[in-house]
Amino acid sequence: MSASLLAVDGLTRTFGSLVVLSKLDLTVEAGQIHAIIGPNGAGKTTFFNLVTGALAADSGHISFDGRQIDGLPAYRRTALGICRTFQNIRLFGSMTVLDNVLLGLHCRTHGGLLFPLLGVPFRPAKAEALARERAHEILELVGLALRARQAAIELPYGEQRRLEIARALASAPKLLLLDEPSAGMNTQETLELEVLIEQVNRRGVTILLIEHKMSLVMKLSRTVTVLNFGQKIAEGPPALVQRDPRVVEAYLGTE
């Protein structure tokens, strides 16, 4: 039995009169791949936004790695080891592939605004050189090493998704939140993605996955949580959840 890495307790968020997430309890165990599924509008992405600190919860608590993180700004949570990808790819468009990954290293490196004035002229600073080395390793891992100097937005769609993962990995997360990483990918790309996610997980990164492709969810995840209208309607191993009548009902609707 492994310890819980993320524990969410009574998490609620409303937009006006619309309750998007209602008293959600959820525990993610360290080292797992945990999937969250549910119909559109079930509150999955809102949940990610609450965990990463992009949105504030109306009520409820989030603790991460044994520490309450309610009210911490997003960048502090990233420093603690929570990082994410976005459903609608949000790479930094004016930057190269390498720079996107280097940006991910922001919270693991040091150096303020006056830093560029220090050090030996015409030689990159040592910290920068180390950061670049690390970034290249990560690009190697996701298979984008040859693309390093290209503009991020010039990449094909599937590679942009991999770059988002690389950028998040650069922040050395303990918990990686992937928001529909396979969206828009063809079968081949999805298979490669599956391998990548497993590889990342084997390196000790716990993964929380929002995904619509059930094949991917079934193969990868140990636990699946099903959300519908902001509430948890089922949870457990994928094979069991798949047969749960409430889940079938949520997806197919009742007659």
Partner 1 sequence: MLSDHTVSILIFAGIDVIMALSFYLPASAGQLSAGQGGFMALGAYTAAYLTVQYGVPFPIALAAGGMIGGLVGLAVGFPALRLRGLYLVLVTFGFGEMVRVLFLNAPAFGGPGGFAGIPPATTVWHVLGLLIVLVYFFTRLSGSRMGRAFAALRDDEAAAEAMGVNSTYVKLAAFTAGGVIAGLGGALYAHYTLFIDPEAFGVGRSLFVMLYAVFGGLASFWGAVVGASILSVLPELLRWVKDWREIFYGVLVLVMMLVRPQGLLDPALLARLSLRGERVAARG
Contact residues: partner 1, CB under 8 A: 52-54, 73-75, 78-79, 83-84, 86, 90-95, 99, 102-107, 109-113, 115-117, 121, 124-125, 127-128, 131, 151, 167-168, 171
Q: Cα–Cα distance between 181 and 189 in angstroms, integer?
A: 11
Q: Cα–Cα distance between 179 and 6 in angstroms, integer?
A: 17
Kindly state the DSSP code that residue 243 receives in the 8-state scheme.
H
Q: Which is nearer to partner 1, 16 or 121 (CB)?
A: 121
CB of 183 to partner 1, least distance (A): 17
Gap between the terminal Cα atoms of the chain: 41
Q: Ramachandran region of residue 240, left (φ > 0), alpha (ψ -120 to 50) or beta?
A: alpha
Q: Which is nearer to partner 1, 88 or 188 (CB)?
A: 88
CB of 154 to partner 1, least distance (A): 10
What order of strands is seen across the sheet that includes strand 206-210?
82-84, 175-179, 206-210, 33-37, 223-228, 231-236
CB of 186 to partner 1, least distance (A): 25
Q: Which is nearer to partner 1, 131 or 144 (CB)?
A: 131
Q: Which is nearer to partner 1, 61 or 90 (CB)?
A: 90
The DSSP code sequence of 143-173 is: T-GGGTTSBGGGS-HHHHHHHHHHHHHHT--
Which residues share a beta bridge with 21?
A: 13
Nearest 5°: CA angle at 140, between 139 and 144?
55
How far out from the chain centre does Cα 237 lie? 21
CB of 92 to partner 1, least distance (A): 4
Long-range contacts: 88-91, Cβ < 8 Å, 24+? Answer: 89/157, 89/160, 89/161, 89/164, 90/164, 91/152, 91/153, 91/160, 91/163, 91/164, 91/167
CB of 132 to partner 1, least distance (A): 9
Q: Which is nearer to partner 1, 53 or 60 (CB)?
A: 53
CB of 6 to partner 1, least distance (A): 16
- Which is nearest to 169 in space by CA: 97, 91, 83, 95? 83
Q: Which is nearer to partner 1, 1 or 114 (CB)?
A: 114
Q: Which is nearer to partner 1, 13 or 84 (CB)?
A: 84
